[in-house]
A and B are shown apart, each in its own frame.
Chain A
Amino acid sequence: MTIVKHELKQGLVSFAIWTASITLLMMVCVFLFPEIKGEMDTMGDIFASMGSFTAAFGMDRLNFGTLVGFYAIECGNVIGLGGAFFASLIGISSLSKEEKGRTAEFLLTHPVSRTHIISEKLISVLLQIIVMNVVILAFSLGSMAAIGEAIPWKEVLLLHLAYFLLQVELASICFGFSAFLRRGSIGVGLGIAAMMYFLNLIANMTESMEFLKFITPFGYCDGADIVDSGKLDMTLIAIGILFTFAGIFTAFSKYRRKDIQ
């Protein structure tokens, strides 16, 4: 576990900043809720009349006046985007940073197999995502308790689980790309995350584009669907898990045979 330890140490500052930022934004959102709830009578009409944007964010089906509805939309966007960017970032740089920083020559001339190195790097990526989600969940739940609302346990846990799976999927896909890249990796990572996010918005807005939900992991993170049905869409998640394993498999098969510069 030498490399896991090393990776976590190397990524600590970035991890701390991302986790703190997302947690803080989530808390701010939750603390805004009591005020929003009071003004909901007037705001409801506005939100309902924004045309396709209303649909894009699922506001046509969720009630902004309830904590669960508000949380699914506002906080869903914060953890959805923030988490996706962070996961893509650590996934895409995990392998490629060794060649970019020209440290590959150092690391790979130690008696450690490439399989071993890839495994430990993957573990460290997953560990960071797990810890980040635990921290965010804990502070979100704490904030809900602090504003004196009853916590909608089931919906909140399902939402967080979905976003956790989304982050793992994006990180794994990026991890796969990471094995091929030497430079410009961060742009690729952020690009993948942003593209997936917008694909979901398009799928929500246009019925003919609904098939996009099968591609983007944001498809199974839709707050309105989860709150409505009280469960996760297992078909979409199964597809997501396939993408996850494809990314990991690609990383191993490419990086094990790669010529290192």
Chain B
Amino acid sequence: MNAKFFTLSDEKPMPPKGENRMDAIKINNLTKYYGKVCGIDNVALTVSKGEFFGFIGPNGAGKSTTIRTLLGLIRPTSGSASVFDMDIINDKEKILALVGYLPSEALFYPGMRVRELIKFSADLRKKNCQAAAARLCERLQLDTSRKVEDLSFGNRKKAAIICALQHEPDLLILDEPTSGLDPLMQKEFFDILRERNKAGATIFLSSHILSEIQQNCSRAAIIREGRIIACDSVEALSKTNAKRVNIQGTVDLGHLCGVRDLQKSDMGMNFLYSGDMNTLLSTLSTGDIQDLSIAEPDLEEIFLHYYEDGGAK
């Protein structure tokens, strides 16, 4: 897992450099209440142009609310946001012309064929995207002569992907894009995303699948109960002071402070450690250890750490 992470990290697009770069997304203290229920609370976030940005959080944390506000589907209770320096309320149509959106749950009009749906989407954008659509259909292996209501969940997702990508948008907003896609298709899909990103498109990927974020994104934000609790580069997010310690052999950890997520097996044990290193080493030296590894925890573990601690950091 970690090895894979490090090899892939070299290929990851770097965050754009330069001072006067326009922000693709800028969210200022955005708050949305559904009646008395809080959707998001004071969310502030900036995504630079050309970034591959991850947006992490479990179901119901406010990911979709944030996205739907950006797209003008719902109006914020307070706060503001802009996309490519355009206001999300006043310049909504101009923004939507530059955005491709992939909803988490892709549902379409009954009775339409896939090809009609793709054409309808292009017509609404007043664009001719036939060539791009045909290329995408071939790469994703989608039969365009079928009726949308006969499609499986995964194939509906493919149709939605084509509608979101065919006009070659400058900003792609993806809400849990891979659910329903088989692993081969997921790979193809992320290949396409990386190509688009290299060509200059900004990608905003909302997901609760951390490996997706870790393998593709340069920066990420973590949202919890409507609040952003962390926002940094994926590497920095992974680099907390906690380490994953893996031991083969026996040792009495005794009163060692900072041990979490302790898992024991016949062969040994492993745990997350965030205490003093010297204390750890001296404790370990008292035991009978055949093998030892101390590594950075992966994002999955960081994520749990953020959630278990209630985001207090």
A residues with a Cβ closer than 8 A to B are: 2-3, 6, 10, 101-113, 257, 259-260
28 CB contacts below 8 A, A to B, read: A2-B123, A6-B109, A10-B109, A101-B110, A103-B107, A103-B108, A105-B103, A105-B107, A106-B103, A106-B106, A106-B107, A106-B121, A106-B160, A107-B124, A109-B96, A109-B99, A109-B101, A110-B96, A110-B121, A111-B94, A111-B97, A111-B125, A112-B93, A112-B96, A113-B93, A259-B74, A260-B73, A260-B74
Across the interface, do B93 and A109 meet the contact criterion of CB distance under 8 Å? Answer: no
Residues on A with beta carbons closer than 8 Å to the beta carbon of B99: 109
Within 8 A of A (CB), among B52-83: 68, 71-75
- Which residues of B approach A to under 8 Å, CB–CB? 34, 68, 71-75, 92-97, 99, 101, 103, 105-111, 120-121, 123-125, 160, 163
| B125 & A106 in contact (Cβ 8 Å cutoff) | no
* Residue from A2, A102, A103, A108 in contact with B72 in the complex, judged by beta carbons closer than 8 Å: A108
Chain A residues near B92 (CB-CB < 8 A): 113
Closest A residue by C-beta to B69: A259
Contact of B124 among A103, A105, A110 (CB under 8 A): A110
A50 and B283 CA atoms in complex are apart in Å by: 104
CB of A118 to closest CB in B, whole Å: 14
- Check B73 against A2 for contact (C-beta < 8 Å): no
Given contacts A101-B110, A103-B107, A108-B72, contact A2 B120 (CB under 8 A): yes
Please report the C-alpha to C-alpha distance between residue A83 and residue B289 in the assembled complex, in whole angstroms: 86
Are A257 and B109 closer than 8 Å at their CB atoms?
Answer: no
> Which residue on A lies nearest to B102, using beta carbons?
A109
Count of CB-CB pairs between chains A and B under 8 Å? 63
Q: Which residues of chain A are near B120, meaning CB under 8 Å?
A: 2, 6
Contact A259-B73, Cβ < 8 Å, known A103-B109, A106-B107: yes
Nearest chain A residue, comparing its CB with the CB of B123: A2
Q: Which A residues are in CB contact (< 8 Å) with B105? A: 102, 105
In the bound complex, CA of A101 to CA of B103 (Å): 14
**Chain A nearest CB, measured from B23 CB (Å):** 20
- In the complex, A10 Cα to B121 Cα: how many Å? 15
Query: Which 3 pairs across A and B sit closest by C-beta, in order of nearness?
Result: A111-B97, A110-B124, A111-B96
Q: Which of B94, B101, B105, B160 has the most CB of A within 10 A?
A: B101
Residues of B within 8 A of A257 (CB): 75
Q: Which residues of A contact B101 (CB under 8 A)?
A: 109
**Which residue from chain A places its CB closest to the CB of B97 in the assembled complex?**
A111
| Closest beta carbon of chain A to B99's beta carbon, Å | 7
Across the interface, which residues of B come within 8 angstroms of A107, CB to CB? Answer: 124
CA distance A106 to B160 in the complex (A): 9
A108 CA / B96 CA spacing, docked (Å): 9
Q: B34: which A residues are within 8 A, CB to CB? A: 259
CB pair A109 B71 closer than 8 Å:
yes
Q: Among B73, B95, B107, B124, point to the contact of A112 (Cβ < 8 A).
A: B124
Q: How far is the CA of A246 from the CA of B105 in the complex (A)?
A: 35
What A residues does B125 contact at CB under 8 A?
Answer: 110-111
Contacts of A102 in B (CB 8 A): 105, 107
Determine if A2 and B124 form an interchain contact, defined as CB atoms under 8 angstroms apart: yes
Contact in complex: B163, A108 (CB < 8 Å) = no
The docked-state distance in angstroms from the alpha carbon of A239 to that of B311 is: 60
CA distance A146 to B94 in the complex (A): 58
Identify the closest chain B residue to A105 (Cβ): B103
- Per the bound structure, the CA–CA distance linking A13 and B108 in Å amounts to 18
Q: Could you say which residues of chain A place their CB within 8 Å of the CB of B106?
A: 106
Compute how far the CA of A179 lies from the CA of B120 in the bound complex, rounded to whole angstroms.
23
Do B75 and A106 touch across chains, with their CB atoms under 8 A apart? no
Nearest B residue to A112, CB-CB: B124
Bound Cα distance from A101 to B75, whole angstroms: 21
Knowing A2-B123, A111-B125, A259-B74 are in contact, say whether A106-B108 is a contact too (CB < 8 A). yes
A residues less than 8 Å from B68 (CB atoms): 105, 260
Cβ distance B153 to chain A, nearest Cβ, rounded Å: 14
Give CA–CA (A107, B99) in the complex, Å.
Answer: 13
Q: With a CB–CB cut-off of 8 A, which chain B residues contact A110?
A: 96, 121, 124-125
B93 nearest in chain A by CB position: A111
Q: Which residues of B contact A259 (CB under 8 A)?
A: 34, 73-75
Residues of B within 8 A of A106 (CB): 103, 106-108, 121, 160, 163
Distance A113 CA – B105 CA, assembled complex (angstroms):
23
Least CB distance from A2 to B in Å reads: 4
**Chain A hits for B74, CB < 8 A:** 259-260
* CA distance in complex: A39, B117 (Å): 57
Kindly list chain A residues whose C-beta atoms are within 8 Å of the C-beta of B123. Answer: 2
Docked CA distance A10–B96 (Å) = 24
Q: When chains A and B are docked, how far (Å) is the Cα of A10 from the Cα of B109? A: 8
Residues of A within 8 A of B103 (CB): 105-106, 109
Residues of A within 8 A of B109 (CB): 6, 10, 101, 103
Q: Complex Cα distance A2/B95, Å?
A: 20
CB distance from A132 to the nearest CB of B (A): 20
Specify which chain B residues have a CB less than 8 angstroms from the CB of A3 in the assembled complex: 124
For residue A113, which residues in chain B have a CB less than 8 angstroms away from its CB? Answer: 92-93
Task: Select the residue from A3, A106, A257 with max chain B CB neighbours within 10 A.
Answer: A106
Beyond contacts A105-B68, A112-B93: 4 other A-B pairs, Cβ-Cβ < 8 A, are: A3-B124, A111-B97, A111-B124, A111-B125
